[in-house]
Amino acid sequence: MKVLVNDREIHLAPGMTVRHALIGASLLGDVEAGKKVFDEWGNETGLDGALFENARIYVREERSP
């Protein structure tokens, strides 16, 4: 399935989690260093969160207003 991490297309097997998408995008280290993961609606999501086709997640310092 295709997901977008910081607007970068990542391909994962169905059933993979946010953690797998971050590994694929080489961004897991950023989260371990204190950044947070948000969905396309600005909700913070955990590393074990489920993903779906064309899901969009973003890694950033904090939630945008």
What is the pTM for the complete model shown?
0.90
Q: Hey, how many other C-beta atoms are within 10 angstroms of the C-beta on 34?
A: 8
pLDDT digits 0-9 by tens, 12-45: 999 999 999 999 999 999 999 999 999 999 999 9
Residue 38 lies in a domain: yes
Give how many domains the chain has, as a whole number.
1
* Distance in Å from the first CA to the final CA of the chain: 30
User: Given CA atoms 58, 15, 9, 30 in this order, what sign does their dihedral have?
Assistant: positive
Determine the average pLDDT of the residues in 35-60. Answer: 96
Q: Is 19 helix (H, G, I), strand (E, B) or coil?
A: helix
Residue numbers of the domain that contains 8: 2-60
Distance of CA 44 to the CA centre of its chain: 10
Residue 40 lies in a domain: yes
